[in-house]
Amino acid sequence: MNRPIRVLIADDHAIVRQGLRQILSETEDMIVAGEAANGVEALARVREGECEVVLMDVSMPDRNGIDALKLIKKEFPRLPVLVLSMYPEDQYAVRALKAGASGYLTKQSAPEQLVQAIRTVAAGRKYVSASLAQELANAIQDDGDKPLHEKLSDREYQTLCMIASGKTLSQIAAELNLSVKTVSVYRARLLEKMRMKNNAELTHYGLKCGLVE
């Protein structure tokens, strides 16, 4: 039997990490190489060199998953990172893959799908679902055909989604570990790029495009 795949679990919820650890412990060809509760810890664990696949959430304190993903790929470009998120594929999957992720799964996925995805990225391949493949096909169309929110930076996009879900600038700043002033700058930029005037218009757009539930 081949050596088991060593997986690092990065998620800020202990109960999620415990559930993932349970799934992997019941899989013969995988072991948990470590855990991280945020992006900073994830990068530190990766630097220890004990893992072969990183299983990472998108929404984490200190550094969100996309930021941490970019840092990990900058230092370890060959290390597969599989993003596992509560967000639907149409919200973050394309951004995650563009940032260097080897695959994207929602937390509603079946354990068997998770195991298969880990095996796929560990073998050096990309893992995408059929619906995500369609999203990727849509994403390579000309910029002029893209929805307005596709032209936002990752932080601007996060800010848009949070505003559309009803969060204040102070709440967004606390969740992203940023200053209110910095979040205000992101808001101003996205209003300009979206050609909108206020939070009400952003909220209406977010709901119309399914960026919030």
**Residue 92 vs residues 6, 66, 67: alpha-carbon distances, Å:** 25, 9, 13
Same domain, 70 and 119: yes
DSSP code string of 5-55: EEEEEE-S-HHHHHHHHHHHHTSTTEEEEEEESSHHHHHHHHHTT--SEEE
The one-digit pLDDT tens for each residue of the chain (213 residues) are 578 999 999 999 999 999 999 999 999 999 999 999 988 899 999 999 889 999 999 877 666 678 889 999 999 999 999 998 887 777 778 888 888 999 999 888 889 999 999 999 999 999 988 777 776 776 665 555 567 787 788 888 889 999 999 999 999 999 888 899 999 999 999 898 888 889 998 998 888 888 876
Instruction: Please indicate, yes or no, whether residues 21 and 52 belong to a single structural domain of this protein.
Output: yes
72 near 81, Cβ under 8 Å? yes
Specify the pLDDT at position 122.
Answer: 95
Residues 122 and 160 in one domain: no
Where residue 196 falls (left for φ over 0; alpha for ψ -120 to 50; beta otherwise) is beta
Residue 11 belongs to some domain of the structure: yes
DSSP state of 4: P
The pLDDT, as a whole number, for residue 22 is: 95
Q: What is the CATH number of the domain that holds 118?
A: 3.40.50.2300
Q: Are 114 and 93 in contact (CB under 8 A)?
A: no
Q: Are residues 50 and 152 in the same domain?
A: no
Residue-number span of the structural domain to which 56 is assigned: 5-139
Q: Quote the distance between the C-alpha of residue 200 and its chain's center.
A: 26
Residues 75 and 97 in one domain: yes
Pair 61, 158 in one domain: no
Q: Is 213 inside any structural domain?
A: no
State whether residue 78 is helix, strand or coil.
coil
* Each residue's pLDDT tens digit, 4-34: 999 999 999 999 999 999 999 999 999 999 9
Same domain, residue pair 27 and 115: yes
pLDDT given for residue 140 in this prediction: 61
Based on its alpha-carbon atoms, the radius of gyration of the chain, rounded to whole angstroms, reads 18
Q: With CA atoms as reference, report the closest residue to 70 among 190, 153, 178.
A: 153
pLDDT at 141: 58
Q: Is residue 204 part of a domain?
A: yes
The answer to whether residues 51 and 156 belong to one domain is no
Q: What is the CATH number of the domain that holds 150?
A: 1.10.10.10
**Do 65 and 116 belong to one domain?**
yes
Query: Considering 139, 156, 182, which residue would you say is the last residue of a domain?
Result: 139
Q: The whole model's pTM is what?
A: 0.68
The pLDDT, as a whole number, for residue 138 is: 67
Question: Got the DSSP string for 143-176?
Answer: GGGS-GGGGS-HHHHHHHHHHHTT--HHHHHHHH
- Residues 105-125 have pLDDT tens digits of 988 888 999 999 999 999 999
127, part of any domain: yes
The DSSP string of 100-137 is: T-SEEEETTS-HHHHHHHHHHHHTT--B--HHHHHHHH
**Domain check: are 20 and 108 in the same one?**
yes
- Asked whether residue 47 falls in the same domain as residue 129, the answer is yes
Domain boundary among 139, 167, 194: 139
CA distances 182 to 131, 161, 179, Å, are 35, 16, 5
Asked, for residue 42, whether it belongs to a domain, the answer is yes
Structural domain count, the chain: 2
